Structure 1
Amino acid sequence: MKDLASRTALITGGGTGIGLSLALQLAAEGTNVIISSTSKERLAAGAQQIREASPNVTVLDIVCDVSDRQSIKNLKEEVTRAGLQVDILVCNAGVTTSGDYHLHRESDWDWVYGVVLNGTAYCIQSFYPDMVTRGSGHIVINGSQAGMVPNWVTLHGPYTSAKAAVHALGAALRPEAATHGVGVTTVIIAGTQTDIMKSERSRPERFGEPLQVEVERRAARRVPPSEVAAKIVTGIKEDRGWVATHPDLKDRTKQYFDEILEAYDQ
């Protein structure tokens, strides 16, 4: 999708971080943007920032809990009432918990899987069929280096496994979607300057109280979200199947897959 002008992008988790940076960059390309998240306040602030930077595009901010299928259906209805269609779907919303597997409660797994995995699937189920009908569109699935190399970062069991699943979803969907003129890009994101470690502030009441586990923050190189967003924009324009944000992690990724490949020789 080389020409992004006058297209419309829906970005979940678009009020802050990578989602907001991507919205700003797409708007600068002339793309109308719809940002959604569970926080009305952060969405409003993000939308205002986009409008000030790109006053000639349409900007909508809509509260949506992607872990709730009905909330996504309501989101789609609002988009339709606004006279827009989603040409670019960015499944970006993500949350995580910290702590050993055995310390996680059922509600913790339900919440993280609900946002990271189910939220991605629900969004695709809602917006992909329309892209197929039109014969055009692009889907971006924001994954994680933790999901690509699950033994690289520990103490994020639900998040790591859910991100591994969305990688598989993106890889499986891409060849099918291509037959309908729809692109799919899966993004392998590593350390970025975002608020994901503040995820508990977004936990809906139905998932219970926050998980209280003291975990030492891991030292890592974290890039600005604008750097990640720029790579995603390029991925959309060039219809790349995969985008990796941290080239320096290639060797660690190869090590992991070499361990798997060795099993085929034993």
Structure 2
Amino acid sequence: MKDLKGKTALITGGGTGIGLALALQLAAEGTNVVISSTSAERLSAGASQIRSASPNVKVLDIVCDVSDRSSVKNLKSEITKAGLQVDILVCNSGVTTSGDFHKHREEDWDWVYGVVLHGTTYCIHEFYPDMVARGYGHIVINGSQAGMVPNWVTLHGPYTSAKAAVHALGAAMRPEAAEHGVGVTTVVIAGTQTEIMKSERSRPERFGEPLKVDIKKRAATRIPAEDVAKQILDGITEDKGWVATHPELKARTKQYFDEILAAYDH
């Protein structure tokens, strides 16, 4: 999608981190932006930042729990009431837990899958058909290096497997969506300066108490959210099927897929 001016982008998880950084960059291009998350406070602060930087675009901040289908339907209703249509959908919301597979409870799996996987599918279900009807649009699905190479980072089992699923979703959608003039970009994100490790602050009460497991913090080099956002913006404007934010991880990714390919030789 070359011309972003006057278009409208919806970014879930848009109050902080990569979502907010991308909202700021899209608004600078003349794109109206709708940011959503579960925190009214963080959304309001983010929206104020966007309005200050780009006063000539429309900015909406709408509380939405993407793990709740009815909340996503309400999000669409509020956007429609504001006289906007979603031309660019960025499925960015993400949460994670930390701990061994066997220590995760049902509600931990339900919460992470609810946000990462179901939240993505709920948004696509609500907004993609309208793009097909109009014959244009773009969908961004934010994945993770942890989902691309599932044995690379341990102790995030639900998150890792849910991210692997959204990669498959993006890859499967892209050729079909292209027939309708809709682009699909799947983003493989690695270490970034975000607040995802504070995910439990956003955990709805229906998913119970946070998972409490003592684990050692893993040392990691994290790049600014703005750098990742710029790569995503390029993915939208250049209609890239895949964006990988950390090229230095190519060798590790190849190692993983070489192990799989080797199985076909026997």
**What TM-score comes out, normalization by structure 2 length?**
1.00
Q: What per-residue deviation string (whole Å, max 9, x for no partner) do you get for residues 153-198 of structure 1? A: 0000000000000000000000000000000000000000000000
Q: What per-residue deviation string (whole Å, max 9, x for no partner) do you get for residues 93-120 of structure 1? A: 0000000000000000000000000000
Matched residue SS, 2:71:
helix
Structure 1 vs Structure 2 CA RMSD: 0.3
Identity level (%): 82
Superposed, 1:83-232 pairs within 5 Å as 83-232=83-232
- 2:241 matched residue in structure 1: 241
- TM superposition shift of 1:217: 1.2
Q: Distance in 1 between matches of 2:86 and 2:216?
A: 40
The answer to whether structure 1 residue 21 and structure 2 residue 16 are counterparts is: no
- 1:33 matched residue in structure 2: 33
Name structure 1 gaps, 5 residues minimum: none
Matched residue SS, 2:10:
strand
Q: Distance in 1 between matches of 2:217 and 2:120?
A: 27
The range that moved more, 256-265 or 213-222, is: 213-222
Q: Distance in 1 between matches of 2:195 and 2:181?
A: 35
Q: Distance in 2 between matches of 1:137 and 1:83?
A: 17
The answer to whether structure 1 residue 59 and structure 2 residue 59 are counterparts is: yes
- TM superposition shift of 1:30: 0.3
Structure 2 counterpart of 1:35, one-letter code: I
Matched residue SS, 1:233:
helix
Q: Distance in 2 between matches of 1:7 and 1:204?
A: 32
Matched residue SS, 2:34:
strand
Name structure 2 gaps, 5 residues minimum: none
Q: Distance in 1 between matches of 2:55 and 2:215?
A: 43
Q: Distance in 2 between matches of 1:215 and 1:228?
A: 27
- 1:256 matched residue in structure 2: 256
**Number of residue pairs matched?**
266
- TM superposition shift of 1:69: 0.2
**What TM-score comes out, normalization by structure 1 length?**
1.00
